[in-house]
Amino acid sequence: MDGMGAALRQDSALRHATGEAGFIDDLPEVPGLLHGALVLSPVAHGRIEALDPAPALALPGVVAVFGPGDAPGRNDISASGAAQEPLFAEHLVEHWGQAMALVVATDRDAALAGAAAITPVIHALPPVLELAEAVAARSLLMPPQVLARGDVVAGMAQAPLTASGSFRCGGQEHFYLEGQIAIATPGEDGDLLVLSSTQHPTEVQHIIARVLGCAQNRITVQCRRMGGAFGGKESNASWVAAAAALAAHATGRPVKLRLTRKADMAATGKRHPFLFRWTAGFDATGRIAALEALLAADGGHSLDMTPGVVFRAITHALNAYDVPALRIEALGCKTNTVSNTAFRGFGGPQGVLLMEEIFRSIAAATGLDVETVRAKNMAGGENGDETPYGQALDGKLIRRVHAEALAASGWVERRAAIAAFNAEHPTLRKGLGSFALAFGISFGVMHMNQAGALVHVYEDGSIRLNHGGTEMGQGLFIKVAQVVASAFGVPVERIRITATSTGEVPNTSPTAASTGSDLNGWAAHLAASAIRERMAGVAAEIWAVEAGEIGFEDGMVRAGGNRQMSFGELAHACIRRRVSLSATGFYKTPDIHWDPVAMRGKPFFYFSYGASVAEVVVDRLTGEHRCLGAWLVQDCGRSLNPAVDRGQIEGAFIQGMGWMTSEELYWDRTGRLRSLGPSTYKIPGSRDVPPVFVTRILEGSPARAETIFRSKAVGEPPLMLATAVWNALCDATGAVSLDLPASPERLLAAIRAGGR
Ligand code: MTE
Ligand code: MOS
């Protein structure tokens, strides 16, 4: 079976393995192609006094140098349009590694030498590097967001016990295998074809048109696949492509801009670091009555998508739990660091940390077990199951998913075995932790919840599929092809998957917020259904039956009795009868709304639920640790493709574990990022995968929302399941509060501070 629910490979899996899958840098270079390299700011903050291109232009092969004054349109790459964000720094540099100019040359080495030859003259100013300093100074990129419910003051005053705390989590580098890249090729009369490794071809198109000051119809942006993106190619791809486009436009020659890994890490945004401060009122049973919290996000130097990240953090701060009275304030802070951006989970992974630390504190204060406190405050049961912004959670399902994760891990016996191990072992400490997740699915910006598709059936019955979604390894293209194959009742091989292009499906949203298959799956289904209906009409005419009697199955079209023909024969018959076999499909998520002033509404079409258990072991002498086991249960609705979904669950968990344990971005006191490659920035490797790694797609999911074939999004949520590793590390070391990443240094400090 290869329709819905079939465990098929990602469309290029084999070609990835053999190296045949083409990425932009693999394309043969056309004659006359120029290569670009960026001049990056050597200081974190300062006034630009001069940038002399002469030393670069004097080098062999260098053709031109472009700066902020060279944009025929606007030197503005703001994704939201809500603030001005320069393509090349103008007057002021605001972070170390900021793009100041682009050198183009006849080969890449010459371009890099040219960029290195330029020494901008900058009058240095004091930088703000610490998030806490930005919070204290109210250095903000955006108005604060406040989520409130009930009477917090009274709730806090009446609570028999209170506790307070603060902690922080770090950022995360996307570390996509394929770095940022674009090739811009001028065509006739000002046309530009841009190949971009982007999650958002439409934004690339729009921003290039803005920078060049031309109509959007001049610019065509294409992306066949990305070598990973993880949110890092949502807005950051746009400015990289805009720089290439600017140079192509000015020189009339094709321009390729591929960032070096170091430039990529220095100049492109990362996950937002967060600072949390909280006070909770609770009773001796561990039940929380009131909560006051501050969530501060480090947005870096410019706005980018920080409002969206802050929105997702604040709407996920209670996660799967219920607190009757609360006031949570969330800030998007400005510092002189790279502008932080989307990263798998988009503020959700940071938001959901809050309750975990509070549970540990309450457990320490009451002498209860963390799991008892967790259960006491979980949504549903005797507790409420409405989010503070007024959307219903499925408390029953949350409890069921969490219980299944505990059971899968053999929690009770494992606890006992760990206690026995720890009692016997002089230097090693094992720990166990769990986690439950309710992650909202939809873009927080309501109008972004739309998608389009374009389907053609040719005369031989072969089918060409195009839609606005992009493929970054997550398996979107095969899932949408499965949707179309099942609409036509043909094998999936009959569907030709094609590159995303603004020339085929216009005005699209980014492939992000895990909504790719929800949105594009529906759009493609609508397009395919429109064609199928016309085809059924023709078949009905041929056989003189009702259109409703026509069935599409196994590549055949049938109408009872022995009336049948192949799908290709019917396609041929349609052409002969002058019936169009091409259709667009358009989908917008129904039933979502948000009031940003009241901070209330139903912003999410539905929630994705998941739960996890992790077991770790920590070396008390070195602080080193390993995750020994992980048991994950993820609600995928009726999975469109369990093989792809399982890959997403496993990959996301490991990426989340990397963020929480080994990946540390290190800025020195001058604001220079010192972790600029795999030697200084440790992403998880194959040996970090827990030796016991059990992932389970929830069986019999209620799948209530009208999603495509009742499937659920899976791209981001399982990243948060790695929070169980953090909890397990705290359990092993006895830490109540533990900043992330939980590096060996931090774990040692926790152990020294009186932990176990
Ligand atoms: N999986 C792979 N292999 N590579 C990626 O870059 N990005 C993640 C997730 N899974 C990513 C991935 C992110 S951040 C998102 S939002 C979703 O995929 C986007 O795709 P989807 O909406 O089709 O799930
Ligand atoms: Mo994903 S962070 O929404 O691109």
pLDDT in tens, 631-642: 999 999 999 999
d(CA 344, CA 720): 9
Q: Is the CB of 344 under 6 A from ligand 2?
A: yes
Counting from 1 in the atom list of ligand 1, the atom nearest the Cα of 229 is: 6
Write out pLDDT tens, residues 327-353: 999 999 999 999 999 999 999 999 999
Q: What is the pTM of this model?
A: 0.98
d(CA 131, CA 46): 19
Residue 413 CB neighbours (<10 A): 9
**3-state SS class at 556:** strand
Q: Is the pLDDT of residue 80 over 90?
A: no
Which of the listed residues 199, 474, 479, 714 should we mutate to test ligand 1's pocket, taking the one with most ligand atoms within 8 A of CB?
474
Structural domain boundaries of the chain? Answer: 32-126+176-267, 128-173+270-388, 397-442+602-755, 450-588
Q: What is the mean pLDDT of the chain?
A: 97
* Residue 395 pLDDT: 97
Residue 512 Cα to ligand 1 middle (Å)? 7
* Residue 373 pLDDT: 98
d(CA 583, CA 585): 7
Residue 450 Cα to ligand 2 middle (Å)? 16
CATH number of the domain located at residue range(s) 450-588 in this protein: 3.30.365.10
d(CA 559, CA 179): 52
Strands 556-558 and 551-553, how do they pair? antiparallel
d(CA 436, CA 54): 58
Write out pLDDT tens, residues 178-199: 999 999 999 999 999 999 999 9
d(CA 678, CA 305): 26
Write out pLDDT tens, residues 139-149: 999 999 999 99
456: β partners: 464, 582
Structural tokens at position 384: 């409420």
Structural tokens at position 411: 């929690």
Q: What are phi and psi of 438, to 5 degrees?
A: -125, 105
541 included as an active-site residue: no
Counting from 1 in the atom list of ligand 2, the atom nearest the Cα of 512 is: 3
Write out pLDDT tens, residues 543-569: 999 999 999 999 999 998 899 999 999
Q: What is the mean pLDDT of residues 576-604?
A: 97
Strands 288-298 and 325-333, how do they pair? parallel
Ligand nearest to the CA of 474: 1
Intrachain domains 32-126+176-267 and 450-588 with the same fold: yes
Q: Is the CB of 250 under 6 A from ligand 2?
A: no
Which of the listed residues 514, 634, 720 should we mutate to test ligand 1's pocket, taking the one with most ligand atoms within 8 A of CB?
514
Q: Which fold has domain 397-442+602-755?
A: Aldehyde Oxidoreductase; domain 4 (3.30.365)
Q: Is the pLDDT of residue 39 over 70?
A: yes
Q: What is the mean pLDDT of residues 14-33?
A: 97
Q: Is the pLDDT of residue 756 over 80?
A: no
CB 714 within 8 A of CB 606: no
Residue 262 CB neighbours (<10 A): 14
Residue of 94, 292, 371, 716 marked active site: 716
Q: What is the mean pLDDT of residues 215-219?
A: 98
d(CA 672, CA 241): 25
CB 44 within 8 A of CB 336: yes
Nearest CA to ligand 2 atom 4: 231
**Residue where the block lists tokens 């493609």:** 524
Q: What are phi and psi of 455, to 5 degrees?
A: -120, 135
Residue 343 Cα to ligand 2 middle (Å)? 5
Residue 231 Cα to ligand 2 middle (Å)? 4
* Residue 560 pLDDT: 87
d(CA 24, CA 1): 33
CATH number of the domain located at residue range(s) 128-173+270-388 in this protein: 3.30.365.10
Instruction: Please tell us whether the domain made up of 32-126+176-267 is placed in CATH 2.40.30.170.
Output: no
Ligand nearest to the CA of 346: 2
Would you state the torsion angle of the CA atoms of residues 544, 550, 553, 555, taken in this order, to the nearest 10 degrees? 40
Write out pLDDT tens, residues 607-619: 999 999 999 999 9
Amino acid making up residue 316? H
Q: Is the CB of 342 under 6 A from ligand 2?
A: yes
Residue 652 Cα to ligand 1 middle (Å)? 9
Tell me the percentage of the chain whose pLDDT exceeds 70: 99
Counting from 1 in the atom list of ligand 2, the atom nearest the Cα of 233 is: 4
Which of the listed residues 233, 343, 346, 472 should we mutate to test ligand 1's pocket, taking the one with most ligand atoms within 8 A of CB?
472
Residue 226 Cα to ligand 1 middle (Å)? 10
Q: Is the CB of 228 under 6 A from ligand 1?
A: yes
Write out pLDDT tens, residues 686-734: 999 999 999 999 999 998 899 999 999 999 999 999 999 999 999 999 9
Strands 500-501 and 551-553, how do they pair? unpaired
User: Which band of pLDDT confidence, cut at 50, 70 and 90, is reported for residue 1?
Assistant: very low
List of E strands, 11-68 = 34-40, 46-50, 62-66
d(CA 209, CA 192): 10
